[in-house]
Amino acid sequence: MNITSLEGLVFGVDDVGACNEFLANMGLDVVERGDDGGHFLAEDGTWISIRPRADAQLPAPLETGSMLRETVYGAADTDTIEAVAKEMARDREVTRHADGSIGFYDDLGFALRICLATRKTLEVPAEVMPNIPNSTQSRGLNVIGVTPGAPAARPRTLSHVVYFVPDVALAEAFYTQRLGFRCTDRFTDVGPFLRPAGMADHHALFLIQSPPHIKGIEHFAFHMASPSQVLAAGTQMVKRGFQSFWGPGRHHFGSNWFWYFNCPMGCHAEFDADMDQHDDHWVPRATAMGPEASQAYLFQFREKWAPGGPPPNARPAS
Amino acid sequence: MGARRSAAKCPPGQLSMTVLCHISEIPVDGAIGVEPGEDGHDTIFLVRRAGHVYAYRDSCPHWPGARMAWRRHEYLDADGAHIVCHGHGALFDIETGHCLSGPCAGLSLSSLPVELTAQGLVRLLPTASAPLTSKDISK
């Protein structure tokens, strides 16, 4: 199953205006924004769509009321789509859409769609490269790392989605055995980090064993170009009044830098960067989840200040 | 965002009787966050409803310490009927702080006693236990 991207997420929400406002402030391109919904793109074309909860065109909701209504993956070619359609048709209904994509539900009731991958390759701007001492690795002479007034940090691509699931074994079996996902690492008694076989990212999907009444999305994440861009994007969110939930920091599993925010889609929204990449030679690790295992380090935002000047009791020079 | 609606600053350990805001700063049937300590972010939110002001710690009982608004002062749902933790969409009764649905269904927000003075000031009252400290409010 050559699934090569996490393409998009569709939400059916209670407050369209708030959700549109939030996503526009994440730095996504606004393709559509109105009372009926919104459509927002990362730089490589991956996306999030907002629709009213009652929109009859959306797939059936989870019984818990989670606002995530569809997770869309990209396939390398139509052969992959047909292979998935054939596999799914063994035991469930497959809906064929006019654009050639297919829709179905996983074993927990999450709606999925497989379409042709549309992710674009992006050039990396020079300033992303750090200057590493005594190394050929550098961004070049006279290339400035911090440019006042530089364009705001923008999400590069949709990174991953995380589900609360009531039966993590059932869910993991579906994604690994039926859709060819690979487990990269695991928090014991919590769940696996999974990547589609055609993706190198440490995870496009993470599953969390949870009580049935909270089945749904825990968070989604966009990859930024660099750790610095995670800090820049998060700082901008804080300055605009958005509420930090966790971060900035750096995870152990996946090694990605993170900064999470509360989001009006009833989940968390994460900026991340510099996630590990793997192939099938990788041997999954397992550890218990906890503060030490969850992050290499964790910081907290504070307002800017500047040390300097004389002490408050200094006498003027005579 | 408008000017920060910080409560009057006072030394840690003396937060009881702290003036949190003036009633006119809370939108009718709305909510605001306030920062009585020096935590760098709001730690209490106030909801104005039918002449009453309800005060709760900005901490979701699902994951204590997790803040609840999606944007500063955005603690209610779109029609102002319930308090929402936007972390995972839990709904709470405005008057009791009881969680009606979501991960922490059956649990309650941590309420704080406040009084509305004749001058329209919203003041944090001493609790039955030890006076609140900045650290206490952050829980």
Cα separation of B8 and B20, whole Å?
Answer: 7
Which band of pLDDT confidence, cut at 50, 70 and 90, is reported for residue A37? very high
Q: How many CB atoms lie within 10 A of CB B1?
A: 10
Range with the lowest mean pLDDT among A78-82, A129-133, A219-223, B41-45? A129-133
Q: Assess contact for A70 and A16: CB atoms under 8 A.
A: no
How much helix, strand and coil, in percent to the nearest 5, is found in chain A? 20, 35, 45
Average pLDDT over residues A93-100: 97
Instruction: State the pLDDT confidence band at A318, using cuts at 50, 70 and 90.
Output: low
Distance from CA of A165 to the nearest CA of B (A): 13
Q: Is A223 left (phi over 0), alpha (psi -120 to 50) or beta?
A: beta
- Per-residue pLDDT band at B131 (split at 50, 70, 90): very low
State the pLDDT confidence band at B139, using cuts at 50, 70 and 90: very low
Instruction: Tell whether B81 lies on the interface with A, counting CB pairs under 8 A.
Output: no
Residue B49 sits at the chain A interface (C-beta within 8 Å):
no
Percent of chain B whose predicted confidence (pLDDT) is above 90: 69
Q: What is the pLDDT of residue A310?
A: 81
How is domain B19-75+109-124 classified at the CATH fold level? Rieske Iron-sulfur Protein (2.102.10)
Q: How far is B118 from chain A (nearest CA, A)?
A: 31
Asked if residues A218 and A208 have their Cβ atoms less than 8 Å apart, the reply is: yes
Interface contact A302, partner B, CB < 8 A: yes
Average pLDDT for chain A: 95
Domain ranges of chain B: 19-75+109-124
Identify the pLDDT of residue B37.
Answer: 82
Average pLDDT rounded to a whole number, residues A294-316: 85
Show the beta-strand stretches assigned E in A18-110.
Answer: 29-34, 37-41, 47-52, 68-75, 95-96, 102-105
DSSP secondary structure letter of residue A284: P
In this predicted structure, the answer to whether residue B134 has a pLDDT above a threshold of 50 is no
Q: What is the pLDDT of residue B38?
A: 77
**The pLDDT value given to residue A282:** 98
Whether the pLDDT of residue A291 is over 80: the answer is yes
The pLDDT of residue B7 is above 60: no
* Strand, coil or helix: A237: helix
Write the burial class of residue A279 (CB in 10 Å: 0-12 exposed, 13-18 middle, 19+ buried). Answer: exposed
Domains of chain A as residue ranges with CATH:
3-120+156-298 (3.10.180.10)
pLDDT at A4 over 90: yes
Q: Residue A137 pLDDT more than 90?
A: no
Q: Tell me whether A61 touches chain B (CB under 8 Å).
A: no
Nearest by CB to residue B86, choosing from A17, A216, A264, is A264
* Residue B18, token pair as written in the block: 């702290």
Assess whether pLDDT exceeds 60 at residue A17: yes
Nearest-CA distance B57 → chain A (Å): 15
Top residue of A240, A243, A298 to mutate, by most chain B CBs within 10 Å, is: A243
Is B12's pLDDT higher than 70? no
User: Is B80 in the A-facing interface, judged by CB distances under 8 Å?
Assistant: no
- For the cut 70, the answer to whether the pLDDT of residue A186 exceeds it is yes
Average confidence (pLDDT) over A112-128: 89
SS (H, E, C) A74-96: EECCHHHHHHHHHHHHCCCCCEE
Band (B128; pLDDT cuts 50, 70, 90) = low
Residue A111 has pLDDT above 70, yes or no: yes
How confident is the model at residue B11, as a pLDDT? 46
Of A313 and A3, the one with more pLDDT: A3
**pLDDT, tens digit, for every residue of B73-108?**
999 999 999 999 999 999 999 999 999 999 999 999
User: Across the interface, which of A241, A243, A267 has its CB nearest the CB of B67?
Assistant: A243
Q: Looking at the predicted structure, is the pLDDT value of residue B130 above 80? A: no
Element (H, E) at A239: helix A227-239
Q: Kindly identify which residue of chain A lies nearest to residue B62, measuring between CA atoms.
A: A214
Average pLDDT over residues A279-299: 94
Tokens of A59: 């797939």
What are the tens digits of pLDDT across the range A141-171?
898 888 888 888 899 999 999 999 999 999 9
pLDDT given for residue A201 in this prediction: 98
CB contact under 8 A, B70 and A241: no
Residue type, A284: P
CB contact under 8 Å between A67 and B67, yes or no, is no
Residue B132's pLDDT is 42
ipTM attached to this prediction = 0.86
